[in-house]
Amino acid sequence: MFPVIYSFGLQDAVSASTIGALFIAVPSAFESMGPLGRIVGFVFFLVLALGAITSTISLLEVVTASVMDEFGASRRKRHCRPARSLRLLGVVPALDTDALGLMDKIVGEFVLLAGGLILALFAGWRLRGPVARSC
């Protein structure tokens, strides 16, 4: 990725964002390939979208299973509300790359840190016995 960014002089446009690298540098590389680049680019972004959809389904399954365990209803009923909420949350970043960059920055700098801290606190207070070593 870095050779593409530097060979096309996209350092300022991409900066430190993964979004800029994906949606600015990669299309520039495919454009430089000529007509074949359009086909390769289409297939690349199609596979990228497929990967995003499958990742979303697996992440939504965690939320659905937690809600089912907590409230004891059917999968269909407990799947719809979290799915709608997440879909609404994703509309703004899907339409505006600045919002997508802001959410990427917030999640990358704060949410991941908070999740690690919560996991460490949970493991420290909830696990009572000695933890067996696996190796």
Q: Tens of pLDDT along 83-107? A: 888 888 888 888 887 888 888 888 8
What's the rounded Cα separation, in Å, for the pair 8 and 32?
10
Distance CA 32, CA 71 (A): 54
Segments in the chain below pLDDT 70: 1-2, 4-6, 8, 10-20, 127-135
Name the pTM for this structure: 0.62
Residue 17 DSSP label = -
CB within 8 Å of 44: residues ≥ 6 apart: 26, 30
Tokens of 84: 């709608």
Question: And the tokens for 60?
Answer: 């939504």
What dihedral do alpha carbons 109, 110, 115, 121 form, nearest 10°?
Answer: 110
